Amino acid sequence: MVLSLLNLCAREVVSDHSSSPYWLSCVPRELYRALLDAAFAHCRPLAVGELVQRWPERKLIVGGSRKSGECPPNRLCVQALLLAVVRGLTDKRCCLQMLDLSGLQCEDGRVEDSMGGWSLSVALCSMVLQARAAASRAHRRDGERERKRGLEAERDRGAIKRDRGKVGCGNSGESSQGGHRVEEVEKMDCRTNEQMVPEDESVKGIRRRMEIQRRKTLSEGKSNTSSNNSSLSDQDWEEVVMVHVRADIFVNSRSWERVRDALSQPGPLRLRCRYLRVEELSAPSIASLLGLLPQQDLLGVDIRYSSLGVSGLAMLLPLLAPFPQLHSLRLHYCNLDLQRTQPGQQGALQDISLSQPLEVLELPYLCLTSTDLAYLSCSQHASFLKELDLSENWLDESSMPSLRRLLAQAQNSLCQLSLCGCGLSDALLGALLPSLSCCRALRSLRLALNPLSRTGLLSLARTAAGIPSLRLLLYPNPLEEYEPGLPALPSSAQLLDWPLLEESEGRDLTLRLLDEVLNLRGRSRDLLVTSDLLNYSPDLTVDD
């Protein structure tokens, strides 16, 4: 990547931390962004902290989608950023009001010294709680000073009364001196009252905001000496929120309490969630988290490895309705009941009644029934779906009509489809191929771990090659490539564990036949066809 002159200069400036006192005092606000990017790119956490603490704009975005080859921010730089946000609350030079960290996390374990979603979420919640504790301590100190100031004023007023009594009993000279003293004390009271007049709301600094709020309360007669030492009420905290922090929040059983406290306890930093990912939590705990999230911000919910059951799912789905921007729902390994014997359990998904249609719906390993698929095919979500994952849900002849109807509804929007491990035989796939060929926006098609023969695989390849938008086909190894002994209709677990033939002749034949299909359709360059479950690149599904 070729760096611009601005980027080169910014890199040189942040490289020498000893010079920061000189350039920080004179750098224009227009250059802060370039300097911060350079500090992140070249791992200069001290420069990151100093820039963020003095951030001259109302909004700061760190994260989002990264360009190809661009590394995520270093862990030390992220920690320096969070500490600087807290310090900036009491720095009059800082104008920050909105910090957007959405997408900052890095889940690629191969990237060294990056911060994953779990660590980042814990650090964010710690930052929110730390800022609140610091603000509470400052409020108590200010309250104690206010109390002492009130006691001094009481003593002065007592002295005034005593002086007035002496004036009434003394001679004229004493009266004149007493009068002068009364005037001086009254002037001092006027100056004290002037100091208690509320200042402009634009005053920076969390301590000044809280002082203004306290003075307002005093001026309205709603406070006394004892209330000065008490903590701020929730309503008071609402009026002194200084920075809103928008981020993706990852929660598991170990971090749940800290995340709950950060979301429920008010303070100068307000945490707002864009995407919520939950693992290993019970349905009531997830429900309590959903109740704490600001409704206007949430875009997606991802629940994994949680034993919800049909009853837990029925509890959670109605709670998603109040979120108007929600368009993504992922439910992975949520352990729905295999035997739905209770009334109303046959259709577990019929409570997905949201204010907006879903664009991303991932329901692997949910033991979906034909009733569930029938509901999805007729729901408001069908024609808006861009990503659909039904992997590891067993499909049979009774499921085909609903699945074909679902694909027909989504044919103009669907970009990614995953049906891995669904038990699709040659016959079932043959019934599904006409519907697949009509999905003209499809970019990724994943059908691994399905019991297809080589003939069925070639039929799939011909259909895939006929979809102009398709960039990735993840296909299953044909049954002819496995060691003898497989059952007639093996499960995905059996296909995953069963050994392949040691001879490469079968695999070479499959690859040669697939190449012929792609060359015949002119798709050998722009369509990746692979059976490698671990190493295929999901980046191929990104729009050109």
Distance CA 495, CA 422 (A): 12
Q: Sheet holding 269-279: strands in order across? A: 59-61, 98-100, 243-251, 269-279, 300-304, 328-332, 360-362, 387-389, 416-418, 444-446, 472-474, 528-530
- 120 closest CA partner among 133, 97, 101, 134: 101
- DSSP code of 362? E
Confidence of residue 206 (pLDDT cuts 50, 70, 90): low
SS3 at position 301: strand
Look at the block and give the residue holding tokens 């170990």: 254
Mean pLDDT of 326-345: 72
Q: Which residues fall within 8 angstroms of residue 185, CB to CB, at 6 or more apart? A: 156, 159, 160
- pLDDT tens figures, 46-55: 999 999 999 9
Q: Which residues fall within 8 angstroms of residue 486, CB to CB, at 6 or more apart? A: 479, 494, 495, 498
Give me the residues paired with residue 300 across strands: 275, 328
SS3 at position 9: helix
Task: Render 423-450 in DSSP notation, one character per residue.
Answer: ---HHHHHHHHHHHHT-TT--EEE-TT-
The pLDDT value given to residue 348: 59
The pLDDT value given to residue 539: 58
The pLDDT value given to residue 533: 86
Do the Cβ atoms of 489 and 528 come closer than 8 Å? Answer: no
Is the alpha carbon torsion for 495, 496, 501, 507 positive or negative?
A: positive
Give me the residues paired with residue 61 across strands: 100
- 172 exposure class (CB count in 10 Å sphere: 0-12, 13-18, 19+): exposed
Which CA distances in Å does 226 have to 211, 223, 229?
Answer: 16, 8, 6
Do the Cβ atoms of 245 and 102 come closer than 8 Å? Answer: no
The pLDDT value given to residue 86: 93
Q: Which element (helix H / strand E) includes 48?
A: helix 45-53
Confidence of residue 222 (pLDDT cuts 50, 70, 90): very low
Is the alpha carbon torsion for 195, 196, 199, 201 positive or negative?
A: positive
Distance CA 296, CA 294 (A): 6
- pLDDT at 343 > cutoff 60: no
- pLDDT tens figures, 284-304: 999 999 999 999 999 999 999
- pLDDT at 192 > cutoff 50: no
- 209 exposure class (CB count in 10 Å sphere: 0-12, 13-18, 19+): buried
Confidence of residue 12 (pLDDT cuts 50, 70, 90): confident
User: What's the mean pLDDT when you consider all of the chain?
Assistant: 83
Distance CA 249, CA 103 (A): 10
Distance CA 81, CA 74 (A): 11
Is the alpha carbon torsion for 42, 46, 48, 54 positive or negative?
A: negative
Confidence of residue 404 (pLDDT cuts 50, 70, 90): very high
Distance CA 170, CA 121 (A): 73
Do the Cβ atoms of 427 and 486 come closer than 8 Å? Answer: no
Burial 299-330 (b: 16+ CB within 10 A, else e): bbbbbbebebbbebbbbbbebbeebeebbbbb
HSE-CB at 38 with a 13 A cutoff on CA atoms is 22
Confidence of residue 380 (pLDDT cuts 50, 70, 90): very high
Which of residues 379 and 161 earns the better pLDDT score? 379
- 127 closest CA partner among 291, 242, 286: 242
Lowest mean pLDDT among 61-70, 116-125, 300-309: 61-70
- pLDDT at 421 > cutoff 90: yes
- pLDDT at 461 > cutoff 70: yes
Mean pLDDT of 205-231: 50
- 460 closest CA partner among 531, 412, 526: 531
The pLDDT value given to residue 541: 54
The pLDDT value given to residue 202: 40
The pLDDT value given to residue 173: 47
Confidence of residue 274 (pLDDT cuts 50, 70, 90): very high
Which CA distances in Å does 169 have to 86, 162, 187?
Answer: 59, 11, 24
The pLDDT value given to residue 174: 44
Q: Which residues fall within 8 angstroms of residue 68, CB to CB, at 6 or more apart? A: none
